[in-house]
Structure 1
Amino acid sequence: MNNSLFQSVILRKWLVGLAALLVVFTLVVFFFPWDALREPINRYVSGQLGRRFEITRHLAVHLGRTTTVRADGVEFANPEWASEPYLLKASVAEFDIKLLPLLFGKVDMPRLALTKPHIGLQIEPDGRRTWALSRDTSDEGAVPDIGSLLVDQGTVKYLAAAQGANVTAQFSLAQESAGPLPLSYKASGKWKNEAFTAHGRAGGALQLSKNTEAPFPVEVNAVAGRTSLTAKGSIANLAELAGIDATFDLQGRNLDELYKLLGVVLPSSPPYKLRGKLAEHGKVWAASQIQGVLGRSDLSGDLRFDQSAAVPLLTGKVQSKLLDFADLGAVIGLAPSSGTPPQTAAVSSATGKAASSGGETSTRSTAASRKVLPIATLDVARLQAMNADVTYSAADIRHVRALPLDQGSVHIKLTAGVLQLDPVSLGVAGGSVAGSIRIDSNVAPAAFTTRLDARGLHLNQLFPAVETTRSGLGKISGQFDLKGRGNSVAHMLGSASGDIAVLMGKGEISNILLEYMGLDGGEVIKFMLRGDRNVQLRCAAAAFDVKQGLMTSRAIVLDTSDTVINGHGRVSLANETLDIILDPVPKDRSILSLRSPLRIGGTFAAPSAGPDKVALAGRVGIALVLAAINPLLALAATVETGPGQDADCRAVLAEAAKPKTASRPLAAGTR
């Protein structure tokens, strides 16, 4: 018993002694004159980092597992290579710091609060950064881990040459009564070498680390060039722009301008307005519930941009209820459609005073020199900047250029610089055009391959602006198989080789169209008296071999119950010129006919069509000679005896559909 009592007394003495030591230690810590350590701390930190560090007024420390330090008047210089003199110069700096990580050379500050700070952050392309707390400023392990940052009445400057960033931001903290967004900010400068301005509000503490407890609210209003963004939501890690969950409104002049700002490769577009939800988790950005307009087309869908791999990947599905075809022009480099075609542009005042015939000649000359095929250069670097797997569909297509389109879809795949549109599907004139397009940007100039098949295109819908085809009946099929090299649509087609064929079986076409084509005055008079009537079409074919941008006819035949038309010629995709001869051979007798071959020439921008002047002059000459003898005999020269014969349609269509190197036109009848 006595031994037990003795041990109990000893234990109580030890406990009392330990408690007394703790009280003394607490009193020493609480009343310790920490200011006495300011100079030793200033010298130690400055010596360790090789740059000036100074607490100029007061130092207070509250020890604990997480220790709180308050320093009044802090001046922390930047390395000599930095453009800003100070990493931090603040009226007050208060921070929580974990002591255990300090033993391993790691600075872990769950909270940093700054009053009236001036912060100078700079990172160099070689990895040196001003906020690395080491003599070796390229050591990522020396970067402090800061949880939340509170800034009251301060300025932050951020310079990163590799990012094209030179940003100045100003912060001001309102009273607590300001609500959940007491921190206001303004920013300006350059991002990705593009000038921008921004302003907004945020929660009182900016979360800089992924280890923080909860995201903080934020509002953003930013403008860069003609692109503007409004966003509202929350962000978990401001330093890495991670853990974002927000709604956004985005509008601008052209979607492809987002490449400079965000690194996302998007096609050229007319002005756009988009809204939706934006989220970022694990380097994957997701834009969902997208709604908006591009030009006069609506747009909706979902997109994901995955930056976790070495090459970013864009995936998603986008659709339109109504696509205005003119809005696609920017994608392939077409000029925007307008009410005034380029060939009718105003001429100079001197030209305007010239005679009307001279003005018309000048206008035709201007039109002839204009190019139709798009010449916008393909940006090869952008095709190699990311991969993509996106589908797009349009339920209805408005054709302001009088194109008979009704719906379409495309699967876009971009892998290692190779762009594939496969499949491409379009509803055209009651039929369909389907196939694939492939562009390889890894070679210079880029290589393209395209194969498109047209099926069941209704003749009376195919050319809605041409009145003489509206009463026609029949279905057209075609095939386009081309390969080439170039960095624009014009250059690609100008170098293309392959095969083009258009075929049509039985149907009906306007008789007046045929008779005008053959200058058959007798049939034209019948039309004026009783109206146009359709004639039976037995078959039609136009096939071309294409080599280095030159289309050479393999077969051009149109066989009707009234006329057989044989043709031959060439079309230059490189020069955009036409040279085709159509030779009509009648199957009926007609008077007042000056039937002669029809020549189609000119350019794609200003095509011309008219009778072959040499052949027509011969026929007119005979008529004039006979008229000199007897006016009634002049009619004899215009009478067609109608020796034309039916074409072998089966052979015609088979021959036209079969690619071959011969350029000789297929004969489809005798004269």
Structure 2
Amino acid sequence: FQVLLKGASMADLYDLTGLVLPNTPRFETNGRLTGSLEPERAVWEYTNFNGKVGQSDLHGSLKYTSGKPRPRLVGTMTSNQLRLADLGPTIGAGKADAASPDPSPSPKRGRAPRGKVLPDSKFAAERWNAMDMDITFKGRHIIRPESLPLEDLSLRAVMENAQLKLAPLTFGVAEGKIESQVSIDGRTAPLKAQIRGTVQGLQLSAMFPKVQLMKKSFGHMDGAIALESTGSSMAGLLGEGTGEMRLYVRDGTLSKQMLDLAALNVGSIIVGKLFGDDKEVHLRCAVADFTVVKGLATTRVVKMSTEDAIVEATGTIDLGTEELDLRIKPESLEWKFFSLRSPLYVKGTFGNPNVGVEAGPLLLRAGAAVVAAVVAPAALALVPLTVPAADDDTHCKPLLDLGKQPVKAGAKGAAGTESQPARQAASKAAPAAR
């Protein structure tokens, strides 16, 4: 028979059915429900259902089997038009659909605390031992702001004996992909987690689709991250993570005009101060290599090589307090290309960063774009690149060689604030004194 399900959040079905489902915006589904009873178990199938979660369509089939040691839910779901905002409550960010007539939050539904960026809603891990599951989901097309180049999403979520694995969790981004594997052990308090991810072949031209100047760029971005952590929320896991992360960019174009068009206001200020307001800068390569200890990311090597200069950043990013403490120093190959020789400082928080010049507080307003432009924590880190043209570059080759070092989670990845390969890369990439 046909069954209509609807409510403020799928997580609310737990009290009624025992199903362990994530927080969502208001949902409504309609499908065929069939069941069979056996001596030691019952089987229920909810097949060919169609509906909406928030403003995203949802289709699929699910099968629930009772029994020991735990009931089990398996199935597949797809969304042809997945609205990015509807994913927010799943990770503890955002809120239920504004169109919902019942805005009352479900237990544990939440978002980042006031003034914070990372979501701090706690995982409902006390429910995880109530059910095992194996669910695959595909979001064929992500509806998002034009400036955010997310394309699609696919994941497999497996939970067994209160241990949750998202493997793979893959976003199509800028004609490339960000693929991660996340394991969270819900049997311990606080939760234990391992996070590994790669950034593969993000095309710079596709990352800024509204910017005409970037269409000339054939460069790409790659990376990797490996962390071990404990915590009870997304923010908590990042704030306690230990390991390393690495980011590489090759062959791009920068200019104040381009960053203005991309609405990266702080990035445009920095580029304007370093290179001048009218200059178009060819980016040969850039690397951001960090160790992470208990959520504190410390620079090993963060450098950008252009035709005219090496720009280096040193300092820390605290993923727990969301505080920035970075120093950006231009190392000129030819000082005539620079309109600013003093280092820049990036301080403040993720939500309210501040940029200043060493000589005085000339830049009082900032935006999070400086982090993306210089250290890219949102993209998180990178894997080896095969870049024949850059391999011959005096400054890029040692930086790209550094990318061949695998990232490691835990104490092995965080060992030392600066690894031997990182020290060698920094030394070789530094311009000769003039």
Q: Which amino acid aligns with 2:398?
A: A
Name 1:251's counterpart in structure 2: 6
Deviation at 1:578, TM superposition (A): 0.7
Q: Secondary structure at the match of 2:289?
A: strand
Of 216, 222, 228, 1:477 maps to 222
Q: Secondary structure at the match of 2:116?
A: coil
Of 533, 537, 541, 2:287 maps to 541
Cα distance in 1 for partners of 2:151, 2:332 equals 38
Cα distance in 1 for partners of 2:142, 2:9 equals 21
Of 397, 403, 415, 1:650 maps to 397
Q: Which amino acid aligns with 1:326?
A: A
Cα distance in 1 for partners of 2:226, 2:193 equals 11
Cα distance in 2 for partners of 1:333, 1:663 equals 32
Residue deviations 1:445-489 (CA, integer Å, cap 9, x gap):
111111110111112333568898676441000111111001111
Deviation at 1:492, TM superposition (A): 0.9
* Length-normalised TM-score, structure 2: 0.77
Instruction: Summarize the Cα distance change of 1:468–1:517 in structure 2 as closer, same or farther, 3 Å threshold.
Output: farther
Structure 1 position 563 matched with structure 2 position 316: no
Name 1:669's counterpart in structure 2: 430
Q: Which amino acid aligns with 1:253?
A: A
Residue deviations 1:241-281 (CA, integer Å, cap 9, x gap):
xxxxx101121111100000111111110001110100111
Within 5 Å, give how 1:270-419 maps onto structure 2. 270-282=25-37, 283-336=42-95, 370-400=115-145, 402-419=147-164
Within 5 Å, give how 1:5-154 maps onto structure 2. none
Cα distance in 2 for partners of 1:378, 1:402 equals 30
Cα distance in 1 for partners of 2:96, 2:247 equals 28
Cα distance in 1 for partners of 2:315, 2:417 equals 9
Cα distance in 2 for partners of 1:613, 1:316 equals 60
Cα distance in 2 for partners of 1:414, 1:260 equals 19
Q: Secondary structure at the match of 1:251?
A: strand
Name 1:3's counterpart in structure 2: none
Instruction: Summarize the Cα distance change of 1:476–1:586 in structure 2 as closer, same or farther, 3 Å threshold.
Output: same
Instruction: Summarize the Cα distance change of 1:309–1:488 in structure 2 as closer, same or farther, 3 Å threshold.
Output: same
Structure 1 position 268 matched with structure 2 position 23: yes
Instruction: Summarize the Cα distance change of 1:461–1:538 in structure 2 as closer, same or farther, 3 Å threshold.
Output: same
Residue deviations 1:544-590 (CA, integer Å, cap 9, x gap):
00011100011101001122111111000111011111112333453
Cα distance in 1 for partners of 2:183, 2:5 equals 31
Unaligned runs of 5+ in 2: 99-111, 260-266, 364-392, 408-412
Cα distance in 1 for partners of 2:362, 2:352 equals 23
Name 1:491's counterpart in structure 2: 236
Name 2:181's counterpart in structure 1: 436
Q: Secondary structure at the match of 2:189?
A: coil
Name 2:410's counterpart in structure 1: none
Which sits farther off after the overlay, 437-446 or 305-314? 305-314
- Is the 1:368–1:603 contact (alpha carbons within 8 Å) kept by the matching residues of 2? no
Cα distance in 1 for partners of 2:338, 2:50 equals 63
Cα distance in 2 for partners of 1:304, 1:287 equals 6
Q: Which amino acid aligns with 2:22?
A: P
Cα distance in 2 for partners of 1:521, 1:274 equals 55
- Is the 1:454–1:479 contact (alpha carbons within 8 Å) kept by the matching residues of 2? yes
- Is the 1:472–1:509 contact (alpha carbons within 8 Å) kept by the matching residues of 2? no
Structure 1 position 585 matched with structure 2 position 331: yes
Identity %, equivalent residues: 31
Instruction: Summarize the Cα distance change of 1:368–1:310 in structure 2 as closer, same or farther, 3 Å threshold.
Output: closer
Within 5 Å, give how 1:619-658 maps onto structure 2. 647-656=394-403, 658=405
Within 5 Å, give how 1:458-537 maps onto structure 2. 458-462=203-207, 472-510=217-255, 516-517=269-270, 520=273, 523-524=276-277, 527=278, 533=280, 535-537=281-283
Name 1:607's counterpart in structure 2: 353
Instruction: Summarize the Cα distance change of 1:592–1:502 in structure 2 as closer, same or farther, 3 Å threshold.
Output: closer
Q: Secondary structure at the match of 2:86?
A: helix
- Is the 2:305–2:395 contact (alpha carbons within 8 Å) kept by the matching residues of 1? no
Deviation at 1:335, TM superposition (A): 2.2
Instruction: Summarize the Cα distance change of 1:289–1:479 in structure 2 as closer, same or farther, 3 Å threshold.
Output: same
Cα distance in 1 for partners of 2:172, 2:347 equals 30
Q: Secondary structure at the match of 1:506?
A: strand
Deviation at 1:536, TM superposition (A): 2.7
Q: Which amino acid aligns with 1:558?
A: M
Cα distance in 1 for partners of 2:121, 2:360 equals 41
Which sits farther off after the overlay, 260-269 or 603-612? 603-612
Q: Secondary structure at the match of 2:399?
A: helix
Cα distance in 2 for partners of 1:308, 1:521 equals 65
Q: Secondary structure at the match of 2:130?
A: coil
Deviation at 1:378, TM superposition (A): 1.1
Cα distance in 1 for partners of 2:146, 2:193 equals 26
Between structure 1 and structure 2, the one with the greater Rg is 1
Cα distance in 2 for partners of 1:592, 1:267 equals 51
Residue deviations 1:171-206 (CA, integer Å, cap 9, x gap):
xxxxxxxxxxxxxxxxxxxxxxxxxxxxxxxxxxxx
* Length-normalised TM-score, structure 1: 0.51
Deviation at 1:662, TM superposition (A): 3.5
- Is the 1:418–1:438 contact (alpha carbons within 8 Å) kept by the matching residues of 2? yes
Deviation at 1:609, TM superposition (A): 2.1
Structure 1 position 427 matched with structure 2 position 172: yes
- Is the 1:554–1:662 contact (alpha carbons within 8 Å) kept by the matching residues of 2? no
Residue deviations 1:477-506 (CA, integer Å, cap 9, x gap):
011111100111111111100111101223
Q: Does 1 or 2 have the higher relative contact order (CA < 8 Å, sep 6+)?
A: 2
Within 5 Å, give how 1:177-216 maps onto structure 2. none
Q: Secondary structure at the match of 2:4?
A: strand
Q: Secondary structure at the match of 2:336?
A: coil
Deviation at 1:511, TM superposition (A): 6.7
Q: Which amino acid aligns with 1:556?
A: V
Name 2:341's counterpart in structure 1: 595
- Is the 1:326–1:337 contact (alpha carbons within 8 Å) kept by the matching residues of 2? no
Q: Which amino acid aligns with 1:252?
A: G
Residue deviations 1:297-351 (CA, integer Å, cap 9, x gap):
1100000010133310000010110111111111111023999xxxxxxxxxxxx
Cα distance in 1 for partners of 2:146, 2:115 equals 18
Cα distance in 2 for partners of 1:406, 1:515 equals 26
Cα distance in 2 for partners of 1:268, 1:542 equals 34
Which sits farther off after the overlay, 497-506 or 578-587? 578-587
